[in-house]
């Protein structure tokens, strides 16, 4: 387990499209575990592999509820329904937040950390997090989708 360096908004890797994972092996499981540790260290809700400099289609999400941690490999949104306007931030854009319109519900197909096919249905915050992290895999950032004039910088607590 290791804390990895989070790439910030100036890093051009964030604009690159991530590659599909061919085999879910120990190396991918180690990446997933490192990403969870990194996300927790920085109090994030989600993290995509590209944010730690790895161009693989891998994301982790933790809503800090009783559902546990989602570790998804090659996630794809296969269905979306409705929309919600939500405040969003990103670990690659520290202390910056903006309003974004996301689907209210999504259905995602992916592989779990053992390479088994799974389906995740998310509503509200989970749908938002899934959409945000899957966007990262395609080189799309929340600032690309923010509603004009809604960007805010919040001073970090000392």
Q: Among 136, 123, 137, which Cα is nearest to 63's?
A: 123
How far is residue 99 CA from its own chain's centroid?
Answer: 17
Per the annotation, the verdict on 5 as an active-site residue is no
What are the φ/ψ torsions at residue 125 (nearest 5 degrees)? -60, -40
> For 19, which DSSP code?
B
Given 22, 113, 133, 157, the catalytic residue: 133
- How many Cα neighbours within 13 Å face the side chain of 68? 4
Q: Which residues contact 31 (CB under 8 A, 6 or more apart)?
A: 49, 54, 56, 58
Q: Among 4, 41, 40, 46, which Cα is nearest to 132's?
A: 46
Distance of alpha carbon 32 from alpha carbon 58, whole angstroms: 7
Residues with a catalytic annotation lie at 133
């Amino acid at each position: 387990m290791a804390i990895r360096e989070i790439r910030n908004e100036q890093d051009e890797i964030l604009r690159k499209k991530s590659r599909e994972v061919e085999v879910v092996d120990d190396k991918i499981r180690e990446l997933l575990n490192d990403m969870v540790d990194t996300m927790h260290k920085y109090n994030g809700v989600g993290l995509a592999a590209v944010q730690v400099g790895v161009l693989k289609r891998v994301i982790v999400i933790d809503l800090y509820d009783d559902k546990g941690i989602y570790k998804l490999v090659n996630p794809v949104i296969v269905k979306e329904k409705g929309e919600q306007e939500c405040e969003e931030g990103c670990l690659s854009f520290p202390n910056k937040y903006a309003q974004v319109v996301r689907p209210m519900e999504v259905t995602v197909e992916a592989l779990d950390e053992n390479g088994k096919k799974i389906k995740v249905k998310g509503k509200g915050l989970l749908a938002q997090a899934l959409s945000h992290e899957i966007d990262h895999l395609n080189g799309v950032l929340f600032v690309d989708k923010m509603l004009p004039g809604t960007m805010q910088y919040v001073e970090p607590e000392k």
